[in-house]
Copies of this chain bind each other. A is one copy, B any other.
Amino acid sequence: MKPKCFRVVKPEIRVLGVDDGKFVPHVKGQVLVVGVVFRGGYWLDGVLHTRVDVDGFDATDKIAAMITCSSHCKQLRVVMLNGITFAGFNVVDIKALHKVTNLPVITVTRDKPDLDEIREALKNLPESERRWKLILDAGEPLELSTRNEQEKIYVQATGLSMGDAEKIVRLTSTRSSIPEPLRVAHLIASGIGGA
């Protein structure tokens, strides 16, 4: 698929921020995943949710369905994920997510992913090679800073140029170093997850 090219990033661009709630690691179960529809870095327009298996393989399909089944879908212009692993090592195939939703996908993390550590942790899980491949496929993260030069964040982009991803990440980081849709998705998922 051809990457989406943003001629202009509108201040109220509709962004879906996605994060997961708390869970007990390595214990079979489902984890709340929250999607927040934001207008740029300003206003909450809606809240979606789904549930994914701890260390499972359903995060891509569940998040895609959460988006495509939502009444907000047509307004959305980009999806932002808090990293590509949900509920432990339920890894999102961001290329497949882009393809199914027809939306560019940006991942943002506060820490630089430590690939050696991840590879080691994956050894304890079934189908570790399949998970590892998805992690490598997501591409090398770009280091950048938004509001505070000292606070680095790490960004991956699929379905749009890294330049456009950077613009959108900066535009939506209105309150902290993290884009507001992800900051709020985190507050909601961690405040309610386990409910």
A residues with a Cβ closer than 8 A to B are: 32, 34, 43-49, 51, 175, 183-184, 187-188, 190-192, 195
Once the chains bind, are A47 and B175 in contact (CB under 8 Å)? no
Q: Are B175 and A51 in contact (CB under 8 A)?
A: no
CB distance from A65 to the nearest CB of B (A): 15
* Number of chain copies forming the complex: 2
CA distance A187 to B43 in the complex (A): 11
Q: Closest B residue to A39 by CB, please name it.
A: B175
Judging by beta carbons under 8 Å apart, are A191 and B47 in contact? yes
**Residue pair A44, B184 in contact (C-beta under 8 Å):** yes
A49→B187 contact, CB < 8 A: no
Bound: A43/B176 CA distance, A: 11
Chain B neighbourhood of A43, CB < 8 A = 175
22 A-B Cβ contacts within 8 A? Answer: A32-B192, A32-B195, A34-B192, A43-B175, A44-B44, A44-B183, A44-B187, A45-B187, A46-B187, A47-B187, A47-B188, A47-B191, A47-B192, A48-B191, A49-B192, A49-B195, A51-B195, A188-B188, A188-B192, A192-B192, A192-B195, A195-B195
